[in-house]
Amino acid sequence: METDLRNRDLKRFSESTRRRLYEMLVDSIFGANRDGECTDLLDLTPDDVQLEVFWLHRRWLANYVLPKTKTKRIRGESRWILLRLYLDESGKLMQDEV
Protein backbone atom coordinates (compact mmCIF):
# COMPACT_ATOMS: atom_id res chain seq x y z
CA MET A 1 0.00 0.00 0.00
CA GLU A 2 1.36 3.42 -0.89
CA THR A 3 2.45 5.62 2.00
CA ASP A 4 1.48 8.94 0.48
CA LEU A 5 -0.68 10.40 -2.25
CA ARG A 6 1.88 12.16 -4.45
CA ASN A 7 1.03 9.85 -7.34
CA ARG A 8 -2.69 10.61 -7.13
CA ASP A 9 -4.60 13.50 -8.66
CA LEU A 10 -6.58 15.03 -5.80
CA LYS A 11 -8.25 17.47 -8.18
CA ARG A 12 -10.50 14.70 -9.52
CA PHE A 13 -12.76 12.16 -7.89
CA SER A 14 -11.83 8.51 -7.85
CA GLU A 15 -13.11 5.80 -5.55
CA SER A 16 -9.62 4.41 -5.00
CA THR A 17 -8.40 7.84 -3.85
CA ARG A 18 -11.39 8.17 -1.53
CA ARG A 19 -10.63 4.77 0.00
CA ARG A 20 -6.93 5.64 0.41
CA LEU A 21 -7.79 8.98 2.06
CA TYR A 22 -10.14 7.14 4.42
CA GLU A 23 -7.39 4.67 5.37
CA MET A 24 -4.87 7.45 5.93
CA LEU A 25 -7.36 9.42 8.02
CA VAL A 26 -8.16 6.37 10.16
CA ASP A 27 -4.41 5.96 10.76
CA SER A 28 -4.11 9.65 11.62
CA ILE A 29 -7.07 9.79 14.01
CA PHE A 30 -7.06 6.33 15.52
CA GLY A 31 -3.42 5.36 14.97
CA ALA A 32 -2.27 7.10 18.16
CA ASN A 33 -4.57 4.81 20.11
CA ARG A 34 -2.52 1.79 19.11
CA ASP A 35 0.61 3.51 20.49
CA GLY A 36 -0.99 4.01 23.89
CA GLU A 37 -1.49 7.77 23.61
CA CYS A 38 -4.64 9.14 25.21
CA THR A 39 -7.11 10.75 22.80
CA ASP A 40 -10.81 11.55 22.86
CA LEU A 41 -11.34 8.60 20.53
CA LEU A 42 -9.43 6.04 22.57
CA ASP A 43 -12.20 3.47 22.79
CA LEU A 44 -14.01 4.26 19.52
CA THR A 45 -13.81 2.92 15.97
CA PRO A 46 -14.36 4.76 12.66
CA ASP A 47 -17.84 3.22 12.54
CA ASP A 48 -18.61 4.50 16.06
CA VAL A 49 -17.93 8.09 14.96
CA GLN A 50 -19.56 7.67 11.52
CA LEU A 51 -16.36 8.65 9.71
CA GLU A 52 -16.93 9.60 6.05
CA VAL A 53 -14.61 10.88 3.33
CA PHE A 54 -16.28 12.59 0.40
CA TRP A 55 -15.72 14.80 -2.63
CA LEU A 56 -17.61 18.11 -2.72
CA HIS A 57 -17.04 21.14 -4.96
CA ARG A 58 -13.63 19.86 -6.10
CA ARG A 59 -12.39 19.33 -2.55
CA TRP A 60 -11.85 16.27 -0.40
CA LEU A 61 -13.62 16.54 2.94
CA ALA A 62 -14.17 14.26 5.88
CA ASN A 63 -16.60 14.39 8.74
CA TYR A 64 -17.21 12.48 11.93
CA VAL A 65 -19.31 12.82 15.05
CA LEU A 66 -18.02 12.79 18.61
CA PRO A 67 -20.70 11.09 20.70
CA LYS A 68 -22.34 12.83 23.63
CA THR A 69 -20.14 10.95 26.09
CA LYS A 70 -16.97 12.34 24.46
CA THR A 71 -17.93 16.01 24.41
CA LYS A 72 -17.85 18.59 27.14
CA ARG A 73 -20.71 20.64 25.82
CA ILE A 74 -23.29 22.06 28.20
CA ARG A 75 -26.21 19.88 27.08
CA GLY A 76 -24.10 16.87 26.20
CA GLU A 77 -24.76 17.37 22.48
CA SER A 78 -22.85 15.43 19.88
CA ARG A 79 -20.12 17.41 18.13
CA TRP A 80 -19.77 17.28 14.34
CA ILE A 81 -16.23 17.63 13.01
CA LEU A 82 -15.66 18.67 9.38
CA LEU A 83 -12.16 18.45 7.93
CA ARG A 84 -10.67 19.65 4.65
CA LEU A 85 -8.10 17.14 3.38
CA TYR A 86 -5.11 18.15 1.27
CA LEU A 87 -1.45 17.32 0.70
CA ASP A 88 1.54 19.38 1.75
CA GLU A 89 4.59 19.74 -0.51
CA SER A 90 6.07 16.45 0.70
CA GLY A 91 2.88 14.48 -0.03
CA LYS A 92 1.82 14.18 3.60
CA LEU A 93 -1.93 14.17 4.26
CA MET A 94 -2.97 17.35 6.05
CA GLN A 95 -6.33 18.12 7.64
CA ASP A 96 -7.84 21.44 8.68
CA GLU A 97 -10.97 21.65 10.74
CA VAL A 98 -13.54 23.90 9.09
Residue 54 lies in a domain: yes
Residue 23 lies in a domain: yes
The pTM (predicted TM-score) of the whole model is: 0.77
Residue 69 lies in a domain: yes
Rounded-to-integer distance, Cα 1 and Cα 47, Å: 22
- Give the CA-trace dihedral at 35, 69, 60, 37, to 10 degrees: -10
Q: Could you tell me which residues come within 8 angstroms of residue 13 by beta carbon, excluding any fewer than 6 positions away?
A: 55
Residue 21 lies in a domain: yes
Whole domain around residue 31: which residue ranges? 15-97
27-82, pLDDT tens digit by residue?
A: 887 765 455 554 556 678 899 889 999 999 999 999 998 877 655 555 567 788 99
Residue 44 lies in a domain: yes
Residue 4 lies in a domain: no
Residue 59 pairs in a beta bridge with 56
Rounded-to-integer distance, Cα 61 and Cα 98, Å: 10
Domain count, the chain: 1
| pLDDT given for residue 50 in this prediction | 92
Which of the two residues, 11 and 2, has the higher pLDDT score?
11
Residue 6 lies in a domain: no
